Structure 1
Amino acid sequence: MTVSQEYDIGVAGQPWGPAEKAQWLTRQQLRRSYQQQVLARLEQVAPGFARQQYAELDYRQYGASIYPLYAFSNGDNPDKPTVIVTGGVHGYETSGVQGAIRFLQTAASQYSSHFNLVVLPCISPWGYETINRWNPLALDPNRNFTADSPVAEAAAVVSYLQQLQQPILAHIDLHETTDSDNSEFRPAKAARDGEVNTNWDIPDGFYLVGDSAKPVADFQQAINQAVSQVTQIAPADSNGCLIGEPISQPGVVNYPKKALGLCGGITDARYVTTTEVYPDSPNASPEQCIEAQVVAIVAALDYLKANGH
Structure 2
Amino acid sequence: MKLTGKTVLIVGGAGFLGSHLAEGFLGQGASVRVFDVFSSGSRANLASIEKEIEFIRGDANCYDQVRKAAKGVDVIIHTAFPMPLCDRSLENQHVATGIVGLFNCLRSAYEENAFFVYSSSISVYGIQEYTPIDEKHPVHPLLLYGATKLAGEYYCDVMYRNYDLPLVILRFSDLYGPRCARLSAPLAFLLNCLQDEPIIIKGGGKQVRTYTYIKDAVDATILAVCSEKARGEVINVAGDESISIYDLANLAQDVTGKSPGLIILDDSEDIRQYRIDNRKAKQLLNFYPQVKMSEGLKLTWDWLQENYSYYL
TM over 0.5: no
Q: TM-score, normalised by structure 1?
A: 0.33
Tell me which of the two structures has the higher relative contact order, counting C-alpha pairs closer than 8 angstroms and 6 or more residues apart.
1
